Amino acid sequence: MTLRKNTGQHLHPIFNVDELTAGIVKGDIAALGRGITLIESQHPDHTSLAQNLIQNCLPNCIPSFRIGITGVPGVGKSTFIENFGQILLQNGKKVAVLAIDPSSSISKGSILGDKTRMETLVKETHVFIRPSASGDNLGGVARKTRESIILCEAAGFDTILIETVGVGQSETVVHSMVDFFLLLQIPGAGDQLQGIKRGIIEMADLLVINKADGDNIPKANRTKADLDNALHFYPEKSSGWIASTSLCSALEKKGIEDIWEIMLNFKRVTQQNGYWKIHRDEQNKYWLLQTIEDRLKNDFYRKPGVKDQMIAMVKAMSENKITPFEAANALLNQ
């Protein structure tokens, strides 16, 4: 990667798509990193280059297991991933960790931006760790993460972990791009349970109560019982898979292997009953429609004059001079 002075003040890297593709397909981690930088670039020249790179990588993707990991701040996500990643490596896996950060800013360091995290894992050869794209909206970060998955798979990573802080919408976004969705919990979820949106629990394929160590063990067991009980009230999943709960201590490295066994079992069950492929096809359709609709909206609202007309219409509606439906027609029929 060389830097070129462009017409403005900023230096922009020059990307060679063929070189990048060759590097990524060879499993060159530096090329993979540069490829993701290209995907994340806001520079208009880079958009089509990025799409070319992704299209080049697509036929080279290896089959992978995409796993979403979420939980409220303080649940111990990074310690969990640090240890879970080691188990995956021991099982001969190549692991990529990507993050979707709803705060949309690495500088806040809320997810992978904090370099002191995952200290051991980051040093491993068969591991690629990448914080989320910064300075973008959730939808934008999500699209870029989904495209980054393709690059990782073309580079030979067969296990992709997508991490997000459990604070709302970002879980839904992660859920829309993974095969398996793991929700981390902490002991004492009695009141915790109320804080979690029902919809998040509904998405989970496995609820793991982390920090089940030392004095926490009785509380962790009660939380497990509470969650087991709560799960009875949730509707059956279309995957045919029944969500369960599991205890672990990422700190003491206990219970992590069992979790990997559960995931492998999920993979067996859903590949056998056909859900695995159906689910991936559905996710593709979801992203196709989402992208189309976002573009249609953006293209419309960015048309010259639309913004001013909108302001005029909002005023006219407030004065009861026009209905929203008629105002919409007026705007659209221009």
Residues in touch with its own copies (CB under 8 A): 51, 54-55, 58-59, 61, 143, 146-147, 150, 194, 197-198, 233, 277, 281, 284-288, 290-293, 295-297, 300, 310, 313-314, 317-318, 320-329, 331-332
* Of residues 11 and 288, the one with the C-beta less far from its own copies: 288
- Least Cβ distance, residue 196 to its own copies (angstroms): 10
d(CA 326, CA 334): 13
**In the complex with its own copies, which residue's Cβ is closer, 22 or 328?**
328
Q: What is the dihedral of CA 74, 135, 32, 165, to 10 degrees?
A: 20
Distances (CA, A) of 164 to 41, 73, 101, 179: 21, 10, 6, 15
Shortest CB 144 distance to its own copies, Å: 10
CB of 155 to its own copies, least distance (A): 16
Q: What is the DSSP letter of 179?
A: S
Closer of 61 and 217 to its own copies (Cβ): 61
Cβ-based nearer residue to its own copies, 94 or 143: 143
Three-state DSSP string of 148-177: HHHHHHHCCCCEEEEEEECCCHHHHHHHCC
* Cross-strand pairs, 181: 68
Alpha helices in 155-274 (DSSP H): 169-175, 189-195, 198-203, 217-231, 256-272
Complex with its own copies: residue 202 or 257, whichever CB lies closer: 202
Residue among 91 and 298 whose Cβ is closer to its own copies:
298
Q: Sign (positive/negative) of CA torsion 30, 31, 34, 35? A: negative
Phi, psi for residue 66 in degrees, rounded to 5: -100, 120
Question: Least CB distance from residue 254 to its own copies, whole Å?
Answer: 32
Question: H helices then E strands: how many in the chain?
Answer: 13, 9
Shortest distance in whole angstroms from residue 62 CB to its own copies: 11
Taking the least distance from each CB to its own copies, the nearer of 3 and 310 is: 310
Quote the least distance from Cβ 320 to its own copies, whole Å. 6
Residue 254 per-residue DSSP state: B
- The nearest distance, CB 105 to its own copies, in angstroms, is 23
Estimate the crossing angle of helix 275-301 against helix 138-154, to 10 degrees.
140
